Amino acid sequence: MRRDIFQAIADPTRRAIIALIAIQAMTPNAIALHFDTTRQAISKHLRVLTECELVKQQHQGREIYYQLEIDKIKEIDKWLEQFRKIWETRFLQLDDLLSTLKKQKK
């Protein structure tokens, strides 16, 4: 079964991992220190994120560093953009309504 990026970000632990490695590339052990879970559980989350191409591995000697794949994050942002426009329009409409109600009260 092929996973997609939205399945990957559905899990709060994976979203937290993404937030961590957005700042800097990290090893699985360094990532695991931030969570109250096993190293194996973190490895499973990293595998899902890697399969969905949200993170990539970089080998440095014997260590593997995980870093964020920005282009995949842009796919999520592009999909969310349609909803962002709807929300902005609705907030502007609400702002206009509140202004009208304030004027009517005076």
Q: pLDDT of 11-28, one tens digit each? A: 999 999 999 999 999 999
Cβ-based neighbours of 59, under 8 Å, separated by 6 or more: 65
Topology classification of domain 5-105: Arc Repressor Mutant, subunit A (1.10.10)
What rounded mean pLDDT belongs to the chain? 92
1: pLDDT strictly greater than 60: no
Q: What is the mean pLDDT of residues 87-103?
A: 89
pLDDT for 2 beyond 70? no
Map residue 60 onto helix, strand or coil: strand
Please give the pLDDT value at position 36. 94
Confidence at residue 47, expressed as pLDDT on a 0 to 100 scale: 95
- Is the pLDDT reported for residue 54 higher than 80? yes
Confidence (pLDDT) at 60: 93
pLDDT confidence of residue 39 = 93
Distance CA 1, CA 57 (A): 22
Helix (H, G, I), strand (E, B) or coil at 66: strand
pTM of the entire predicted model: 0.76
Query: What pLDDT does 103 receive?
Result: 86
Annotated domain spans of the chain: 5-105
